[in-house]
Structure 1
């Protein structure tokens, strides 16, 4: 069988084509303290400085061994871009959204006319360009963004969950706005060299909002983003936290290429619940990758592969204190697996 470059291998794996072996990638955040110490680029600065962001993303490849580079490391840049209050992160902890800016349709109107060359959105795109210029011929360049449902929740606050039940006009208006932004942002990342897109939509959970509301407020909006990416031949991975087992068929209905499942999902059940989508996951980032030995990680990695996943990866974002040797144990098993 042909031996592929990492870039070719991941693209083929995500689009259902034959490959020589499993790609060794992480579709969720990759930054760790050990990588920061090795490359000299640290959080929180690496969240807001393009050069440092690119250096730390590169360390996922040069220090750990992932066969891709990925930015950014957190999911607050989009909310910050629209004026939400952000609690600063630290070297070990990511920033979080603590203030919101939209209560009415009129508030949504005030956010329109944004400029994607400003704020941390621009920083992420600049980091993408730096990485693409250096690695784009060989490695996958993963762009990542928060999904439109979770962005709506960041912008509106916890009232968002009541809004989808009680005020459909407002809810649809906000989803249209966040989706339009998500498409524009994804396209800008692609223009800067991203060749794979990851949508992280943690609160768009079938388990949290149920089938009716997922089908109404999530599927059509994810489909718009995915269609826009497919128009430029960019495969899309969707990650939603929690036990998504019962919602996988609905998640797949948006046309996504791959679905990243977290540790609460039985990997074999996930594979059985989709028709075409590649299942990505799902080593527990806390109880396994952070807190176990390389030997245990290799053992569990093989079990996950035996369950039928298409890509072995963490079930959620990598814990910042995870040891490099633990991640390398997972990578070793992935690279040894022949399809």
Structure 2
């Protein structure tokens, strides 16, 4: 029997301390149709009701085998709270943005952190779900809460055209917007930690090299991450989709405890870039492997990931809703085969 609870092991692994075996977790979305059918907690209701959100998140641990629980399942919580219009989605489609408030540069001045940020219809649900999960498993199983970061929120509140254009031609505008949004992220993240989350995943792919240049990242986003990490009082993970290789060295100096990367990032090269400054999480392909292939392919990819030195084995991004349950379970099997046989 392990000397560690799952929560102990997760927290030690994120801090770079010695563990018996590495955790198998998901710091990104875990809702699948099979888990919805098993629990009766379906999208879209599970995105807007705390009890259903907690039930579906708990299934990721109790049924799928992840060694943590994680909520919410979509990325529109703060975006809606700060002014975006959102379609609620369906059983296999997450909520998505249908309209945004920053149509031009002048609109940025109207964006502010509301006094009731933690009482909105979306944030209040996630906060309550985290509280429920903490009451159920918080002593033994880590509770991870997701928050979209300042770049991702700016992308949603301004739209892709404005976001890219402002970065190129009006940097001060997008920096002003992201500064306000970063403050919202900090307040929300600390609220989640106070309700019982053990770690925060800041999801901010729009800050990555696939969207903006590494120089833009260094000048405009890096200082925001430093502030976020100073102000948020708990374990912090950054998730960045795409090939984040070009900014990994910088991410090692932001203050995050872990960086979650997808399969486009070579684990060995990433470990060389970040050293022991931050732990690496990932990076099994959620679409090419976990969704589209079978358990044996998952075992092969996960074993390679372990051999390359990943610190926490995880999907490289959020699970597709139709990901087979047997493929998710194969992640723990791969870890156990690697360490215990």
Same fold (TM over 0.5): yes
For residues 60-96 of structure 1, what are the alpha-carbon distances to aligned partners after superposition, in whole Å with 9 as ceiling and x for unaligned?
0111111111110010111111121113311111111
Query: Hey, what's the Cα distance between the residues in 1 that align with 2:263 and 2:43?
Result: 26
1:129 aligns with 131
| Structure 1 counterpart of 2:142, from 97, 121, 140 | 140
Tell me the residue number matched to 1:326.
327
Work out whether residues 207 and 247 of structure 1, in 8 Å CA contact, stay in contact via their aligned partners in 2: no
Cα offset, 1:308, TM superposition:
1.1
> Which position in structure 2 is the counterpart of 1:167?
170
| Equivalent residues, number | 336
Q: Is 2:304 the partner of 1:303?
A: yes
Preserved contact between residue 76 and residue 86 of structure 1 (Cα < 8 Å): yes
Per-residue deviation, residues 8-55 of structure 1 (Å, max 9, x unmatched): 100000001001111121111000000001111000000010110000
Residue 219 of structure 1 is aligned with which of 218, 222, 225? 222
1:310, 1:174 → 2: CA distance?
A: 34
Distance (Å, rounded) in 2 between the aligned partners of 1:53 and 1:2: 30
Does residue 19 of structure 1 match 2:19?
yes
Q: Measure, in 1, the Cα distance between the counterparts of 2:96 and 2:119.
A: 22
Q: Quick check: 329-338 or 253-262, which moved more?
A: 329-338
When normalised by structure 1's length, the TM-score is 0.95
1:313 alignment counterpart: 314
Partner of 2:94: 94
1:111 and 2:112 matched = yes
Alpha-carbon distance in 1 for matches of 2:136, 2:75: 25
**CA positional deviation for 1:106:** 5.3
CA distance in 2, matches of 1:283, 1:208: 22
Whether the 8 Å contact between 2:208 and 2:214 is mirrored in structure 1 is no
- In 1, Cα distance between equivalents of 2:294 and 2:114: 50
Contact 2:82 2:113 in 1 (8 A): no
- Say if 1:105 and 1:174, in contact at 8 Å, map to a contact too: no
The yes-or-no answer on 1:194 pairing with 2:197 is yes
| CA distance in 2 between partners of 1:55 and 1:295 (Å) | 29
Across the aligned residues of Structure 1 and Structure 2, the Cα RMSD in angstroms comes to 1.6
Offset of residue 114 of structure 1: 3.6
Report the CA distance between 1:334 and its aligned residue: 2.5
Partner SS for 2:201: strand
Return the alpha-carbon distance in structure 2 between the equivalents of residues 139 and 12 of structure 1: 13
Offset of residue 109 of structure 1: 3.5
Deviation at 1:271, TM superposition (A): 1.4
| SS of aligned partner of 2:211 | helix
Q: Offset at 1:168?
A: 2.8
Whether the 8 Å contact between 1:24 and 1:335 is mirrored in structure 2 is no
| CA separation of 1:113 and 1:297: change in aligned 2, threshold 3 A | closer
Alignment partner for residue 228 of structure 1, among 222, 231, 242? 231
